[in-house]
A and B are shown apart, each in its own frame.
Chain A
């Protein structure tokens, strides 16, 4: 087995809110292997982005707090690192692209300036070298006329080009981990396809490990090697992308796959499509989580034990946290 590049163990993150302390992440375990893509999937409010932000050391404290657990990157527990060490890791070793490329770029600096800034911060390059590298990076991420586009301000670029600039900044220092938090949600489908293709190219070229956060099972199929399904601050199922998509064990994962009208051969047939599977209700607010399984209220398979006891993640390679799935397997 390859040694993981990043290992998250029993991570707990709390926020103090007006409802008291709520647990946003409740003991999650994740491994990211070198060069792989790990998909993290779930609805809004399940803790996907909090996982990413905690890994980057970007949880605002207060109100947030790492209440327990470790995040080990290359042998170093980064939950213990000081601000200075975190700054040198961010961008250089672990970098991140966000959902909304308009708000994550600075509107008053050109694309080239913003890439050069990241380079000068982490590498011993002077301004002229950094500018030259910025143009090269724009070429790498597939921006036409990179010399001219380096002089463009973010508002002069389309959404797809802005996301490419974000990716150029993120890979400027050859990080070993790239965290992509819903990188294509704000983009059109053809542009989304371009960004996914680019991310795959970059992974092959630089061997970067990608943590892809998404709510889209189609993106998981296309991009991920392994998948973790999150619900209400816990991982409820974990395994290879094929295992999760072809043989989902948790009722929540089954619901997520069944409720998406993805393209299939049925579309080419006459007559109406069958109704979509529904997951009734919504993700419960974190301050109202009780004793049992957080999904019990929406679950078609829930029984008494689910309401009093919280299931643990069990299994070898394909893991699931569900009493009903355990009984099914037994």
Chain B
């Protein structure tokens, strides 16, 4: 089991206590992630997909303890990360790295990019000599398509795409097993997105990396992910491998996401009219509905959906949390 699975997340929940509405009132609780389970095998990419507020980023951050989990377990290489003390967790961090969405705010503007990429080595491998670490930084710059003579520059001297390359080099520095990619291309121009996506996939092939890939863009997800978990209001509503999810979506929300995603095949000239479009906005995570969270927007809703919360049911190919799934 432990050789098969790199990451096994079970029953993860994250809550945030919000400010009191009145002096003696209860603090309202925001249920950001509700009982989420997923697993990831080495060398593969798991996509967490959903709209803003679906809890995809919070679930990933709780997985690597950058957000505090309320309940659940996170087995990484067979070790429960949520039970580790601070020093043991720090030792694990070399295997767990993150690439953030915004390459403008995730790099220290007052540090040279060479030093930014070297910092994980300074922290995790203090016994190695400084010249070895410099050599490694040089090597990393080459891997991500930057020139070693750019090491002495500051982040503001780079374009968005190049900054994201610096972030990737920093994430790779300690030879991690798992990289959480939090919307790594959504802040970039379309032409630059392709460069970064190709780079991420090449690095995965060369180093056997596993990605937990967060995105709202199904085009990007289809390109890079092997398995996909669709999240809605803090829960996984559908889980499947890529071919199954894109050819046979079973949850009406997944179908709606697919019909909303831009495609070159839908032409105005051919009189395209969208099918299965959803109305309105998701409900508030402060006040989670009793039944299915998607009921208020679902084109197939029935009375059972409003009263009873569906749980994930597995069939041979995929898992779906819906009383009346599409077939």
Contact = CB atoms under 8 A, between A and B. Distances in A.
Contacts of A188: 51-52, 216
Closest 4 CB pairs of A and B: A218-B262, A268-B247, A259-B194, A193-B260
A197 B247 contact: no
Contacts of B218: 189, 263
Nearest to A191: B281
Contacts of A193: 259-260, 274, 277
Interface string A196-208: 0100100000000
B234 to A, nearest CB: 16
A277 B194 contact: yes
Given A263-B246, A275-B198, A190 B266 contact: no
A110 interface: no
Contact of A221 (B219, B222, B256, B265): B265
B217 interface: yes
Contacts of A258: 194
B23 interface: no
A260 B190 contact: yes
A129 interface: no
A185 B193 CA distance: 15
B14 interface: no
B194 A278 contact: yes
B119 to A, nearest CB: 26
A241 B268 contact: yes
Contact of B222 (A161, A261, A277): A261
A264 interface: yes
B133 interface: no
B22 to A, nearest CB: 19
B194 A267 contact: no
Given A43-B191, A240-B269, A218 B281 contact: no
Q: Which of A256, A264, A280 has the most CB of B within 10 A?
A: A264
A175 interface: no
A222 B219 CA distance: 15
Interface in A245-288: 245, 255-264, 266-270, 272-273, 275-280, 282-283
B222 A267 contact: yes
Interface of B: 51-52, 159, 161, 189-195, 197-198, 201, 216-220, 222-223, 242-243, 246-248, 256-269, 272, 274, 277-281
A43 B194 contact: no
Nearest to A45: B189
20 contacts: A43-B189, A193-B259, A215-B189, A216-B190, A217-B262, A221-B266, A222-B266, A224-B268, A225-B268, A245-B267, A257-B264, A259-B190, A260-B190, A261-B220, A262-B262, A267-B246, A276-B198, A278-B191, A278-B198, A283-B189
A218 B190 CA distance: 12
Contact of B269 (A216, A241, A268): A241
Which of under 10, 10 to 19, 20 to 34, or 35 or more describes the interface residues of A? 35 or more
Given A255-B191, A256-B191, A225 B269 contact: yes
Given A276-B194, A276-B223, 11 more contacts: A43-B191, A193-B277, A216-B262, A221-B268, A222-B267, A224-B268, A241-B269, A259-B193, A262-B219, A267-B222, A282-B189
A190 B274 CA distance: 11
Q: Which of A224, A263, A276, A277 has the most CB of B within 10 A?
A: A263
B216 A189 contact: yes
A62 interface: no
B250 to A, nearest CB: 14
B54 to A, nearest CB: 9
B256 A190 contact: yes
Given A221-B262, A257-B264, A270 B243 contact: yes
Nearest to B195: A278
Contacts of B259: 193
Nearest to B189: A43
Interface in A77-122: none
A282 B261 contact: no
B278 A282 contact: no
A91 B4 CA distance: 62
Contact of A189 (B159, B246, B260): B260
B195 A192 contact: no
Contact of A263 (B216, B261, B279): B261
A190 B51 contact: yes
B254 to A, nearest CB: 11
A190 B268 CA distance: 18
B50 to A, nearest CB: 9
Contacts of A241: 267-269
A222 B272 contact: yes
A275 B268 contact: no
Interface in A214-233: 215-219, 221-225
Contacts of B277: 190, 193-194, 197
B52 to A, nearest CB: 6
Contacts of B269: 225, 240-242
B281 A37 contact: no
A259 B191 contact: yes
A31 B41 CA distance: 54
Contacts of A63: none
Contacts of A197: 274, 277
A44 B191 CA distance: 10
A144 interface: yes
A53 B248 CA distance: 44
A158 interface: yes
A217 B247 CA distance: 22
Contacts of A192: 260
B267 A221 contact: yes
A220 to B, nearest CB: 9
